[in-house]
Amino acid sequence: MMRLLSLILLMFVMTAVHAADGKQITVYMYSEYIDPAIPKQFEQATGIAVRIDVYEAQEEMLAKLRAGGAAQYDVVVASDVIVPAMITLGLVRRLDQAKIPNRANVDAQFVDPEFDIGNVYSWPYQWGTVGLLYKKGAVDPKMVSWGAVFDPVQQPGPFVLMDEMRTQLALALHHLGKPMNSRSPADLKAAGDLLITAKHSRKCLGFDGGVGAKNKVMAGEATIAVVYNGDAVRAMAEDPQLDFIVPSEGGVIAVDNLLISSGAPNPDGAHAFIDYILDAKVGAQLSLFNHYATPNRVSRELLPKPELANYAIYPPERVMRVLQYLEDLGPATKLYDEVWTAVKSR
């Protein structure tokens, strides 16, 4: 027992030493979002160890940073919609672009985004869509709409809602024919009421993160679930009876980004990690692992044709036309918070 305690203490001391001498960085991201081999390769290449901490919803991540996590993490992976708030709150720092030469690999469509003009604070990590993962045979794909989770008549069986405020409320608004980025109190109340009704359906299994929802469908507990496409593709690879669809009426497109925390203990290591992720070969390796689309134009050239042809990863043009980006809500975020709190508590 004493030997075990001594070993644990030694590991703790070594971790602290690594952090103090700049030989470690801590990355905060969604779970199951990076090939475990990549941090190890980065350490071999640079001598900097990587610790990965995970979250399941961006609201959880933001709350953690505001509670002091900004001094705990070096690199944070965050969705486009939340980046402006992170900048305004002073949770992230300006990038030293000279330390990120691989930024030249980023596809032009992901450079200079509206949420971070000039890429002052961020560079893209991966991009993807939100749709429905479902059991084949239990659902007719030609008939699938967001009503599969919002309309009692269309619900095919047990379903899971996404435990992410901004995305799930946007989809509820969209189903009601309202703008996904509405600031209208009346629109938000209607969306909240819709979610409360869906939540209390006898078929609803509640709210869950993309990974948890994916696992429920794979286990046969749920027939259909709101998930990110990367989670769906991994599930489909394991179970050919599963499929993914973005309903024809449209959905959400999101770009996740690499940022450096304002209190990063090792900003130099953080810059090196971002540059490493933007390397062409590493970018391709990343996408082959998590099955999200790469924003790296050179990485895309290295991907096998079946990956590029996968409709669930790289949607066809007819789907791309009906996808929408979520916007920073500014002061209206408070209204969304209030509605979401009511949804989760009632």
Q: State residue 12's pLDDT score.
A: 42
Q: State residue 140's pLDDT score.
A: 86
Structure confidence by residue, pLDDT tens digits, 282-315: 999 999 999 999 999 999 999 999 999 999 999 9
Reply yes or no on whether the pLDDT at 2 is more than 80.
Answer: no
pLDDT bin (cut points 50, 70, 90) of residue 143 is confident
The pairing of strands 224-228 and 159-162 is: parallel
16 lies in the same domain as 160: no
Total number of domains in the chain: 2
- What percent helix, strand, coil does the chain show, rounded to 5? 50, 20, 30
184 lies in the same domain as 235: yes
203 lies in the same domain as 293: no
161/5: higher pLDDT: 161
In angstroms, rounded to a whole number, what is the distance separating the alpha carbons of residues 229 and 299? 19
Reply yes or no on whether the pLDDT at 6 is more than 90.
Answer: no
Reply yes or no on whether the pLDDT at 16 is more than 90.
Answer: no
Q: State residue 138's pLDDT score.
A: 86
67 lies in the same domain as 152: no
**Which residue in 123, 122, 141 sits closest to 131, CA to CA?**
141
170 lies in the same domain as 116: no
% of the chain exceeding 90 in pLDDT: 90
Mean pLDDT, rounded, for 333-340: 96
205 lies in the same domain as 334: yes
In angstroms, rounded to a whole number, what is the distance separating the alpha carbons of residues 246 and 183? 24
Paired tokens of 137: 């045979």
Instruction: Please check whether residue 214 is in contact with residue 133, taking contact to mean a CB–CB distance below 8 angstroms.
Output: yes
Q: State residue 9's pLDDT score.
A: 44
Structure confidence by residue, pLDDT tens digits, 28-61: 999 999 999 999 999 999 999 999 999 999 999 9
In angstroms, rounded to a whole number, what is the distance separating the alpha carbons of residues 256 and 20? 29
Reply yes or no on whether the pLDDT at 18 is more than 60.
Answer: no
57 lies in the same domain as 169: no
- Per-chain mean pLDDT for the chain: 93
Q: Give pTM, 2 decimals.
A: 0.88
Structure confidence by residue, pLDDT tens digits, 229-252: 999 999 999 999 999 999 999 999
In angstroms, rounded to a whole number, what is the distance separating the alpha carbons of residues 255 and 107? 13
The number of CA neighbours under 13 Å toward the Cβ of 188 is 21
Which range of residues forms the domain containing residue 195?
128-253+319-345
The pairing of strands 49-55 and 123-135 is: unpaired
Structure confidence by residue, pLDDT tens digits, 194-212: 999 999 999 999 999 989 9
Structure confidence by residue, pLDDT tens digits, 93-119: 999 999 999 999 999 999 999 999 999
**Extended strands (E) in 176-331:** 204-208, 224-228, 242-245, 251-260, 323-324
24 lies in the same domain as 121: yes
Rounded to 10°, the helix 267-277/37-46 angle is 120
Q: State residue 22's pLDDT score.
A: 64
Mean pLDDT, rounded, for 1-10: 43
Residue 44 region by backbone torsions, left for phi larger than 0, else alpha for psi between -120 and 50, else beta: alpha
Which CATH number is 196's domain given? Answer: 3.40.190.10
Q: State residue 142's pLDDT score.
A: 82
Beta bridge partners, 89, equal none
Reply yes or no on whether the pLDDT at 63 is more than 80.
Answer: yes
243 lies in the same domain as 333: yes
pLDDT bin (cut points 50, 70, 90) of residue 10 is very low
% of the chain exceeding 70 in pLDDT: 94
234 lies in the same domain as 285: no
225 lies in the same domain as 89: no
DSSP per residue over 164-203, as a string?
-HHHHHHHHHHHTT--TT---HHHHHHHHHHHHHHHTSTT
Reply yes or no on whether the pLDDT at 4 is more than 70.
Answer: no
Mean pLDDT, rounded, for 68-81: 96
114 lies in the same domain as 248: no
Q: What DSSP character marks residue 288?
A: H
257/14: higher pLDDT: 257
Q: State residue 21's pLDDT score.
A: 54
Q: State residue 255's pLDDT score.
A: 98
